[in-house]
Amino acid sequence: MSSVLYDTPGPRARRRNTLYTAGFLLVLAAGAWWVFTGLAGKGQLEWSKWAPFLTDSRVWTTFLLPGLENTLIAAALALVIALPLGAVLGIARLSEHRWVRGTAGTVVEFFRAIPVLILMLFANAAYAAFFDISPDSRPLYAVVTGLVLYNASVLAEVVRAGILALPRGQSDAARAIGMRKGQTMRYVLLPQSVTAMLPAIVSQMVVIVKDTALGGAMLGFSELLASVRPMSANYGANTIAGFTVVAVIFIVLNFALTSFAARLESRLRRGRRSAGAVVAADAVEELATPGEHVGHRPEPPGRS
Amino acid sequence: MFDFLQGYDVPGAFWTTVQLTLWSAAGSLLWGTVLAAMRVSPVPVMRGFGTWYVNVVRNIPLTVIIVFTSLGLFQTLGVSLGADTFTVINFRLAVLGLTAYTAAFVCEALRSGINTVPLGQVEAARALGLGFTQVLGLVVLPQAFRSVVGPLANVLIALTKNTTVAAAIGVPEAALLMREMIENEAQLILISAVFAAGFIVLTLPTGLFLGWVGKKVAVRR
């Protein structure tokens, strides 16, 4: 148990650390006690409020599973539509023609600077006003549209970073054997950068899954979060229990995606199948700055 | 052309957005720094708590957190954060939720900044006999902060956009006003353009300015 930030503890440091540990545990215990008495005081810890999730399968079949299904459908649709769109935008940003580059750049910067919720509200109203979509499926359309517009522009940056991260020699070699620009992109750069981008794409999935909850709170989309209210109405105001279960489902789902992305990344870094370029899973947040053109970021000096 | 704006306090709504952003930014910077310090501290329990907090909070949708502060904390448990009108209570609850959520991202940004401080700096500090708190507070964190201005700017911009989620619990900020205006007025495109422009005005200069600051203060190595 040692890090560069501190020496291996001697007897005095060990005693002090024990003291800190005890103090911190005491603070945590006090916090837990405060939450516990608060919950118990409002009757939120009664078994009847938590039992339905274990004993009554209808909670799952009527509320939670359909909600989860809608969440996953919206997220999957958004990713499937946003990916090709993002690829096109990302490649367009690397174009040699200034107007193509400029247009794609403006579109990307525009949609990254605007909150997803604003995009969803706009899409919802636009579908109501200009399109013939049944009110039942409109929330899904609006949520997916908002997610696609935002995430396509984030994925465009991921694609751009992935292509830029490839060694220059790759396109030089392609040019040397007489490939044209389109061929270089299709046969040399894209296939390699797709593997490099996988971790970033998987971790963007987490952002998409999380943002579907906006539709539940603001547009009446019946996803996982939206199932809390009807559940609490049907099972005796078990709001806290409902929120806990919904949050745990989200955490498990997203944590699985996050660790999958991290595993993928370390695997790709170890493997020698691509040209050695990897867009890290946590690069997405850094790529998502409006106004700043982040290209190839050098790796920070590692620490063992 | 813009007469649909009459009767609506658009600047006021954006002012609420800005206030939400600033309060939550201050709170999450503080709490995020504490979390980052915990995650590199020599006390295993604190390290464990920091890791647990970041992993749990980062994976819950912000919307769930914000709606929970209202439905769970306020309506079920009666936590009102010392306020008595609904507007103030919801505003404070939103700041609480945004702070709790954003702090996880601040913590991660800071931790990556701590990793950019060269080993020699830390070793030199330890050789001088500085303890952990001194190493962190005098040598590591000041350099880490300077190298993470860029990532922190991203967090701030994300936070600015995330404040729209407060609309879910009725904080009268930009997104809520936009929804109300869309319902009442026929000018969908113009209304959306106004709000889109508002957010571009808020986020683009922040990104450009802090990007510039980040380059200026970065430790040259």
Contacts of A218 in chain B (CB under 8 A): 167-168, 175, 179
Count Cβ atoms within 10 A of the Cβ of residue B11 and give its class: 0-12 exposed, 13-18 middle, 19 or more buried.
exposed
The pTM is what?
Answer: 0.90
Asked if A237 is an interface residue toward chain B (Cβ–Cβ < 8 A), one would say yes
User: Which residues 106-125 on chain A approach chain B with CB closer than 8 angstroms?
Assistant: 109-110, 113-118, 121-122, 125
Q: Which residues, at least 6 apart from A129, have a Cβ–Cβ distance to it below 8 Å?
A: B188
* Shortest Cα distance, chain B CAs vs residue A261, angstroms: 14
Spatial contact of B164 and B155, defined as CB atoms under 8 Å apart:
no
pLDDT given for residue B62 in this prediction? 94
Q: Report helix, strand or coil for A180.
A: coil
| Cα–Cα distances in angstroms (integers) from residue A111 to residues A155, A184, A288, B168, in the given order | 12, 29, 10, 21
Inspect the interface and report whether the beta carbons of A110 and B75 lie closer than 8 Å: no
Spatial contact of A117 and A143, defined as CB atoms under 8 Å apart:
no
Least confident window among B16-30, B33-47, B205-219: B205-219
Contacts of B116 in chain A (CB under 8 A): 300-301
Of B60, B68, B167, the CB nearest to A251: B60
Question: What HEC string does chain A produce?
Answer: CCECCECCCCHHHHHHHHHHHHHHHHHHHHHHHHHHHHHHHCCCCCHHHHCHHHHCHHHHHHHHHHHHHHHHHHHHHHHHHHHHHHHHHHHHHCCCCHHHHHHHHHHHHHHHHCCHHHHHHHHHHHHHHHCCCCCCCHHHHHHHHHHHHHHHHHHHHHHHHHHHCCCHHHHHHHHHCCCCHHHHHHHHHHHHHHHHHHHHHHHHHHHHHHHHHHHHHHCCCCCCHHHHHHHHHHCCCCHHHHHHHHHHHHHHHHHHHHHHHHHHHHHHHHCCCCCCCCCCCCHHHHHCCCCCCCCCCCCCCCCC
Q: Which residues, at least 6 apart from A259, have a Cβ–Cβ distance to it below 8 Å?
A: none
Nearest to B65 by CA among A244, A280, A292, A253: A244
Q: Report helix, strand or coil for A6.
A: strand
Of B72, B115, B131, the CB nearest to A243: B72
pLDDT given for residue A233 in this prediction? 84
Q: What are the structure tokens assigned to B51, written together?
A: 């890791």
Contacts of B136 in chain A (CB under 8 A): 5
Q: What are the structure tokens assigned to A115, written together?
A: 């909150």
Spatial contact of A138 and A124, defined as CB atoms under 8 Å apart:
yes
Nearest to B24 by CA among B73, B75, B65, B77: B65
The residue among B156 and A275 whose pLDDT is bigger is: B156
| pLDDT of B179 above 60 | yes
pLDDT given for residue A303 in this prediction? 37
| In chain B, % of residues over pLDDT 90 | 69
Give the best residue of A121, A130, A250 to mutate against chain B (max B CB count within 10 A): A121
Please measure the distance between the N-terminal and C-terminal CA atoms of chain B and give it in whole angstroms. 55
Contacts of A217 in chain B (CB under 8 A): 63, 66-67, 165, 168
Give A3's strand partners.
A6
Q: What one-letter code names the amino acid at A163?
A: I
Rounded Cα–Cα distance for residues A210 and A284 (Å): 15
In this structure, how many other beta carbons lie within 10 angstroms of the beta carbon of residue A180? 10
User: Which residues 142-171 on chain A approach chain B with CB closer than 8 angstroms?
Assistant: none
Of B79, B188, B206, the CB nearest to A129: B188
| Cα–Cα distances in angstroms (integers) from residue A17 to residues A23, A31, A220, A264, B130, in the given order | 10, 21, 50, 36, 16
Inspect the interface and report whether the beta carbons of A289 and B63 lie closer than 8 Å: no
Rounded Cα–Cα distance for residues A198 and A279 (Å): 8
Inspect the interface and report whether the beta carbons of A300 and B75 lie closer than 8 Å: no
Of B115, B154, B188, the CB nearest to A285: B154
* Shortest Cα distance, chain A CAs vs residue B162, angstroms: 7
Which stretch of DSSP H or E encloses residue B58? helix B44-59
Of A9, A42, A214, the CB nearest to B76: A42
Spatial contact of A275 and A166, defined as CB atoms under 8 Å apart:
yes
pLDDT given for residue B97 in this prediction? 95
Inspect the interface and report whether the beta carbons of A114 and B199 lie closer than 8 Å: yes
pLDDT digits (tens, 9 = 90+) for B72-86: 889 888 888 888 888
Q: How many CA atoms lie within 13 A of A146 on its CB side?
A: 31
Rounded Cα–Cα distance for residues A115 and B189 (Å): 16
pLDDT given for residue A296 in this prediction? 35
Average pLDDT of adjacent 10-residue blocks, chain A of 304 residues: 74 90 95 90 83 82 89 95 95 92 93 93 92 89 95 93 89 92 90 88 92 91 89 84 92 93 87 69 62 41 37
DSSP A160: H
Q: pLDDT grade, residue B139 (50/70/90)?
A: very high
Inspect the interface and report whether the beta carbons of A289 and B207 lie closer than 8 Å: yes
* Residues A284, A160, A260, A77, CA torsion sign: positive
| pLDDT of B34 above 80 | yes
Largest CA distance in chain B: 70
Inspect the interface and report whether the beta carbons of B60 and A211 lie closer than 8 Å: no
pLDDT given for residue A288 in this prediction? 52
- Report the complex ipTM: 0.91
Closest chain A CA to residue B17 = A115
Asked if A254 is an interface residue toward chain B (Cβ–Cβ < 8 A), one would say yes
Closest chain A CA to residue B180 = A121
Inspect the interface and report whether the beta carbons of B188 and A122 lie closer than 8 Å: yes
Q: Report helix, strand or coil for A275.
A: coil
Of A129, A254, A291, the CB nearest to B208: A291
Q: What are the structure tokens assigned to A294, written together?
A: 């982040």
* Shortest Cα distance, chain B CAs vs residue A133, angstroms: 17
- The pair phi, psi for residue A180, each rounded to 5°, is -85, 175
Question: What are the start-end ranges of the H helices in B185-221?
Answer: 188-217
Give the best residue of A3, A6, A44, A297 to mutate against chain B (max B CB count within 10 A): A6
Rounded Cα–Cα distance for residues A257 and A265 (Å): 12
Contacts of A250 in chain B (CB under 8 A): 59-61, 64
Question: Which position has the token pair 């000041």?
Answer: B142
Q: How many CA atoms lie within 13 A of B59 on its CB side?
A: 21
Spatial contact of A94 and A160, defined as CB atoms under 8 Å apart:
yes
Q: How many CA atoms lie within 13 A of B43 on its CB side?
A: 20
| pLDDT of B190 above 60 | yes
* Shortest Cα distance, chain A CAs vs residue B89, angstroms: 18
| Cα–Cα distances in angstroms (integers) from residue B62 to residues A161, A244, A246, B56, in the given order | 27, 14, 13, 12
Q: What is the mean pLDDT of residues B6-29?
A: 93
Inspect the interface and report whether the beta carbons of B126 and A7 lie closer than 8 Å: yes
